Structure 1
Amino acid sequence: MKRFYSWGLVALLLDLACPQSTRAQIVGKSVPAFTTAAGTLIRPGDTLRLGRGTLPNGDFQYVFVPDNVFTGSKQQNFTSQLSNLWVRVKDIRVQRSRNFGEKTVAVVKANTLNGCVDLNAAEAAGEIITAHTRTAAVSAAAPASAAPPLSTADELLKLKKLYDQKVLTKAEYDAQKARLLK
């Protein structure tokens, strides 16, 4: 019974000496869900796929382990070795700052690390892959659609221009013109 009281006393003293805000690893107000600027709905329990880091050395700029006031550790960005990793969203927090305004971060579990993902910035930079960024990447990588076919008059003008520039001979010009007018 005496041991129970001593642990209770230690917990009470710890609570008085270090308020909850200084012990919290990741600050901010918890929210049940968040929709990014691109339209992706993210909730706790969802999984996010990390893309590639945007820093010059390949590390992530918007996926990081935040600084911890209690232990004195500084913010550490996720390394490029964590590219293409699936992470589970544990919580979503809105953080307010006088200098930077408001940002929403997802608290994620990646292997043994608890980290943060700045949702809007990471999605815009391609550091997290979502349905919206995947379709944008696919459409950007897809070749441009073929130009609409030119009309016969446009084709004839193009041929005439090539003939006038001496690119086509008279025989080639006449053959192409006959093919178009059929």
Structure 2
Amino acid sequence: MKKIIIAIFCLLPFISFAQSEYKASNGKTYRIGDTVKVALGSMPDGNFKYITASQPAFLPPRRSGNDLSARKDFAHSNAVIKKIKTGSRFTDSGNKIILVVKGNGLVNFDVWIEEAIAACEVTPCATTTNTASTPATGVADELLKLKKLLDAGALTQAEFNAQKKKLLGN
């Protein structure tokens, strides 16, 4: 019985309580076995800030979060999700969601998914918007503003018509 308890305590650090799916802020649900589409690195040199080489559990923690960042040649690739886990960085408070993905060769990478979405290191990213509905609302608002300016006498009818034509793309 003692041997079993000792074995459990020895293996406990290696057991991960991972989840099987995660609904991200970009509207995509990531599951184990799915593919993550890697975009461009957000660092000035083109390397990645939020995609880093996985660190084995038996090594001591790194002091800097960027010393094993994925290089820019990892850009525009597809990576298969092997595990979804939580973790924290020394500079962050609280746990973050990390997707462990299979990289080229023997290396696995940690994708700090919410931060990578915000930095557009993965697609779809946070800056992706529905362009079909945005312009219509913007044009209607601008036309209302122009009509108020026309009614107030700040614009002539010719100026109003010219601006209206420009907004409508005629």
Count of residue pairs the alignment pairs up: 143
Amino-acid identity (%):
21
Q: Which residue of 2 aligns with 1:154?
A: 150
Distance 1:31 1:152, change over 3 A: closer
Q: What is the TM-score when the length of structure 1 is the normalising length?
A: 0.60
What's the CA shift for 1:64?
Answer: 0.8
Q: Which residue of 1 aligns with 2:20?
A: 32
What's the CA shift for 1:71?
Answer: 5.5
| Partners of 1:153 and 1:71 in 2: CA distance | 67
Distance 1:79 1:96, change over 3 A: closer
Q: Could you report, residue by residue, the CA deviation over 1:21-48 in whole angstroms, capped at 9, with x for unpaired residues?
A: 66x5xx8521011112343211001111
Counterpart AA for 1:158: L
1:32-111 aligned at under 5 Å gives the runs: 32-68=20-56, 70=58, 76-95=68-87, 100-111=93-104
Q: Between Structure 1 and Structure 2, whose CA radius of gyration is higher?
A: 1
Does the 8 A contact of 1:29 with 1:95 survive in 2?
A: no
The structure with the greater share of residues assigned to helix is: 1
| 5+ residue gaps, structure 2 | 1-5, 163-170
| Partners of 1:65 and 1:29 in 2: CA distance | 20
RMSD: 4.0
What's the CA shift for 1:73?
Answer: 9.1
What secondary structure, in the 3-state scheme, does the structure 1 residue paired with 2:154 have? helix
Q: What is the TM-score when the length of structure 2 is the normalising length?
A: 0.64
| 5+ residue gaps, structure 1 | 1-14, 161-175
Distance 1:28 1:153, change over 3 A: same
What's the CA shift for 1:128?
Answer: 0.7
Counterpart AA for 2:20: P
